[in-house]
Structure 1
Amino acid sequence: MAMITLTTDFGVRDPYVAAMKGVLRRRCPGAIIDDLTHDIAPQDVLEAALFIEDAAPWFPDGTIHLVVVDPGVGTTRRPIAAGSGGHLFVCPDNGALTLWLGRHKLDWAYEIISDASATEMVSSTFHGRDIFAPAAAALANGGDPATLGKPVTDLVRIQIPAPDCYDKGRISGVIIHIDHFGNCITNIRREHNAVAAGAVYIGDCAFPLAKTYGDVPPGEPLALYGSGGRLEIAVNQGHAARQFGLAHMTQVILAEE
């Protein structure tokens, strides 16, 4: 039985998600449809990329991930279907797969151009319903991806700053995401550096490197590698971003004591 996940910035109070699900249920009624999230910040493709990097690997091989965070809808940006790491993706070619493809080989990708996979009338502002959902349904029904359109290899990648490794015990990075709890997630991954004990420095503030939030008292700051493998700035039972005025692209330095 096919599994389809949905990731969008649509929210749930408007009819957009329901319309996409309606297309999927009409075209592939036996598929399992899971909502990953519809709370991606509006037009935030990098946030969508982070969500896919963290959540998609936990689904079974063969899962179809329908990702619609599409600020360029109706323009020349390409709609694509892609296979990578045992999973299938249907999304705009706008960088939503950047982080996934940084860790998994691209097996194939097609620009979706087949009229047969679209709804009867394609809106210039809702490709999620009229192009992406029908393409995902076609794949869920066992369709050959090659019938969707023409092969492509040059997928768009978001330019994310790479961590700057000064030496074995010091690395500089930036905050690339702030989650629901106010934890500030950086571009530094565990494998980037061998620092096992030390602190993260942001300006004059030091955040001791810990293993879990409870290693410090409630209200106290810390840094740790989160469940997704990225270095995070946090406050135990608090909101680090608000408490310290942190934002996207704020520089952080991880150093040994």
Structure 2
Amino acid sequence: MDIRGSVAIVTGGSAGLGLAAVRALRERGARVGILDIAEQLSPELAKDDEILFVRTDVTDEEAVAAAVGKVAGRFGRVDICVNCAGIFFSAPLVGPQGVHSLAAFRKVVDINLNGTFAVLAQAAERMVANDAAGDDRECGVIVNVSSIRAFDGGAGGMAYAASKGGVASLTLSLARELAPSRIRVISIAPGLMYTDLLRNLPEEAKASHLEKVQFPKRFGDPAEFADLVCYVVENRYINGETIRIDAALRV
């Protein structure tokens, strides 16, 4: 799909990987609707007339439907959906504080997996109504964010691994479901990307994580993730796949 002139929805677009995706899509000429739980956008984004911010809890189905409707109402359509909204949580299954909380497990799955599904479902409904464009008569592209933890689960990260594993497992099923409507579905599984979550760790923890990275021997730049988002949107033959971006990291 040609990004220039398209309309994209990015969840979690006020910070981290979502913010990087917003910037990359705008640089390539897309208009962008940001769905995020944040109170407000940075001045950089807020002054951009081609960005619409809708404060949204992705676990609230009615709020998601209304937010996607606002984006479509403002820009006329939805062509691209990038689901970056998510949280990380780690706790032992059995520890000094007792058994891992089911409520905490549910919260992680609800935001990372159920929230992703809620948004992509509403976006897909809009894409189905699009006029087909390009040589392959494409109507839309959905890009979901999984994680290498979907495949290399770590101790304490059961809820996160399960939620991101669910996102990866959705990919091929959704691609086949939406193929008749000419909509592609791809997931990206990032490794250690240098967002605030990683930046704010103690230096010893950063060094420990970095030891496992192969080459290049550094943390990933969110802009590299965003470039991959744009690449899979524009490469029409990539569909139904989860792509790792992790410098050969295995944890």
Q: Shorter-chain TM-score: what band?
A: 0.3 to 0.5
Higher strand share goes to which structure?
1
Q: Which entry has the higher C-alpha Rg, 1 or 2? A: 1
The two structures have a TM-score, normalised by structure 2, of 0.34
Higher helix share goes to which structure?
2
The two structures have a TM-score, normalised by structure 1, of 0.33
> Does 1 or 2 have the higher relative contact order (CA < 8 Å, sep 6+)?
2
